Structure 1
Amino acid sequence: MTDERRPETPAESEGTTGLFTALGKMVKLLRERKGLTQREFGERVGYGPDAISAMERGVRVPRPELLEKADELLNAGGLLTAALPEVREAMSRARTRHPEWYRSYAGLEAEAVSLYDYSTMGVLGLLQTETYARAVFTQRHPPLDEETIERRVTDRLSRQQLFERWPPPECSFVMEQAVLERPIGSDEVHAEQLRRLLRIGRLRNVQLQVMPTKRHEHPCLDNSFTLLTPKGREQVAYLESQGYPRLITDREEVRILAGRYGIIRAQALNPHESLDLIEKTLEEP
């Protein structure tokens, strides 16, 4: 066990764990009766299979619009929509659930109106599938215990509700080509992750770009970093090295990183070329 102090999840703090677990079980039962796989069901309601899996296990809060679509699609006859008032109330009182050292950033990320990220070693947590995230945490050294792994996977997936907000935040992601070529977990996990990148990259509020390995010039060989602008506040930066996080609020430091990110975007492949490269990588044996 680690000595990391675990914050309560929203469901635990508000006593709604049973509600979300029951809803997840009902959705799974209705989906299976309808003869749909998690992927098929997810495609029809606008979610990936990893999100559907998390919801059916009760570790992800089902958003009201998903329950409304599911109720109609699965012929639930109002069984799922009957819980909408309780779900909306729980969401309105939900608190951020991440390790204490990460809470400041996670809170800002949850209310961001824009988010830009440059990734060098692996897929950004905000874009990871459930199986990819689990592989990342399973391979940590020193090893994490199973309870901590599951908790961190759940918390990572909970952040992805950022993409379900309306209006959505403006997002830009630039990743090194090596990230696409590194099969974390297994070939199957890797392929699923690439398909998720394609789905995210086609969202109207997202610009996803790849920095080719063969670029002769590169403005940032230091580390990954994230720039985000919380609603009504100034832009901040976040970076992490070997588990040591740093939230940057100094205007000059943020300005330097923002300028560097602009050059990175200019030197990377454009979004259409980047998605083509991801598709090509997915097709390679």
Structure 2
Amino acid sequence: MATDTGGGGGPCGEPELSDSLRTFGAVLKALRDEARLTQEQFAPLVRYSVAYIAKIEQGKRFPPRDLLDRSEEVLGATAARVLVAAAGSLTRKAGLASWFLQWAAIEEDTTSLHAYECRVIPGLLQPEPYIQALFERHLPPLTQEQSERQVTARLARQRLLLDRPNTTFSFIFEQALLERRLGGTPVMDSLLDHLLAVGRYRNVEIQVMPLVQEDHAGFEGEMYLAETADHRWVGYVEGHGSSTLISDAKAASHMLQRYGKMRSQALSHHATRSLLEQMRGGL
């Protein structure tokens, strides 16, 4: 398992650097300076925290789409056009490891994506505090710069959920991952709030596999499945220090059968929401 670990999980490896993120950050800083605004003055005007604006300008965060519209209100139409042009060079795959780029490209053009995780919450569902908690526990330890690049890459990929409203996303993960309370109460607060929010998206279905499930079809471990634009299914799995893209139609079909069985064994989307709300109230 390396670097961004597919849709899933824990950190390993070293992501590639993103010059495009640094360039966008430098352009934003230059336009802010031209408007004679400090970060402390600019941030509340675009309704983001000072720390978040600082990370964008440093090339450590993928700029959210709302920032472009809000910047026009503050910096003017000409500056906004410059920012839009700079944003055009950005890609969600910036900062991802080279070995992962093939699956990331499939994600970008999928019509359906299924994910089952028994290790950590799927990467597309992880809020920033949870991602940071994962990288803080990485062995061997990461430098602050390495950790920041990892966080940036994973948060950028999560824009898929909003940028592809016609793609259906289905997630199943083990209840044990919530009971574990990785990172402590503040991290779990953030995680549960985030799962409840993302679960409201019309194209996202989240299901929890209960702690006790005697007829569990996922005993072979985590897996990811994507339906391509030409309606072929491909699979993706990861292990310790390795990853495999599964393009063989028969093997992908077997994975799809297992995933379908798990959807019937896990809590429904509605029941999962009730569980998440119950856990959130109990923290």
Q: What TM-score comes out, normalization by structure 2 length?
A: 0.81
Alignment equivalent of 1:169, drawn from 157, 160, 167:
167
Aligned 8 A contact 2:17 2:149 in 1: no
1:252 partner amino acid: K
Which residue of 182, 185, 203 maps to 1:184? 182
Q: Is the 8 A contact 2:135 2:147 kept in 1?
A: yes
1:249 to 244, 247, 250: 247
Q: Which residue of 2 aligns with 1:150?
A: 148
In structure 2, distance between residues paired with 1:228 and 1:21: 38
The secondary structure found in structure 1 opposite 2:120 is coil
Residue aligning to 1:118: 116
1:28-177 matched pairs, under 5 angstroms: 29=40, 32-34=43-45, 38=49, 55=56, 58-64=59-65, 66-69=67-70, 71-72=72-73, 77-78=76-77, 81-91=80-90, 96-177=94-175
2:266 counterpart residue number: 268
- Structure number with higher relative contact order (C-alpha < 8 Å, ≥ 6 residues apart): 2
Q: Is the 8 A contact 2:72 2:79 kept in 1?
A: yes
Q: CA deviation at 1:62?
A: 2.7
Q: Deviations over 1:229-268 (max 9, x none)?
A: 2333621111111231111111111000100000100111
Give the Cα–Cα distance (whole angstroms) in 1 for the partners of residues 108 and 46 of structure 2.
35
TM-aligned CA distance change 1:63 to 1:22, over 3 Å: farther
Alignment partner, residue 281 of structure 2: 283
**Which amino acid in the other structure matches residue 81 of structure 1?**
A
The CA distance in 2 between the partners of 1:212 and 1:54, in whole Å, is: 38
Note closer, same or farther for the CA distance 1:83–1:57 as it changes in structure 2 (3 Å cut). same
The partner residue of 1:18 within 26, 33, 40 is 26
- Unaligned stretches of 5+ residues in structure 1: 39-49
- The letter of the residue matching 1:134 is Q
Contact 1:228 1:235 (8 Å CA) reproduced: yes
Q: Would you say the 8 A contact 2:23–2:59 is kept in 1?
A: no
Give how far 1:95 is off.
5.5
Task: Give secondary structure in 2 for the equivalent of 1:112.
Answer: coil
1:237 to 1:52, Cα distance in 2 relative to 1, 3 A: farther
AA aligned to 1:222 is E
- How far the C-alpha of 1:127 sits from its partner, in A, is 1.1
Match for residue 217 of structure 1 among 215, 218, 233: 215
Map residues 199-238 of structure 1 onto 2, 5 A cutoff. 199-232=197-230, 234-238=232-236
| Structure 1: distance between partners of 2:191 and 2:127 | 6
TM-score normalised by L of structure 1: 0.81
Q: Decide whether aligned partners of structure 1 residues 33 and 212 sit closer, same or farther in structure 2, where only a CA change above 3 A counts.
A: closer
Matched residue, 2:7: none
Maintained 8 Å contact 1:64/1:84: no
Structure 1 pair 205–240 and aligned structure 2 pair: CA distance change class (3 A) = same
CA-atom RMSD in angstroms:
3.3
Give SS of 1:255's match: helix
**1-structure distance, mates of 2:246, 2:112:** 16
Task: Give the C-alpha shift of residue 191 in structure 1.
Answer: 0.9
Report the counterpart of residue 9 of structure 2 in structure 1.
Answer: none
The structure-2 alpha-carbon separation of the partners of 1:10 and 1:233, relative to structure 1 and needing over 3 Å to count, comes to: farther
Contact 1:96 1:107 in 2 (8 A): no
Mapped to 1, the partners of 2:251 and 2:32 lie a distance apart of 44
For residues 103 and 24 of structure 1, what CA distance do their matches in structure 2 show? 33
Q: Which digits, 9 at most, give the CA deviation of each residue in 1:36-60, with x for residues without a partner?
A: 565xxxxxxxxxxx98886476433
One-letter amino acid of the counterpart of residue 88, structure 2? E
**CA 1:35–1:59 in 2, change beyond 3 Å: closer, same or farther?**
closer
- C-alpha separation in 2, matches of 1:281 and 1:24: 42
Output one character per residue of 1:59-105: Cα deviation in whole Å (capped at 9) or x when no partner: 33435554215644xx55547624344135324x7764311221211
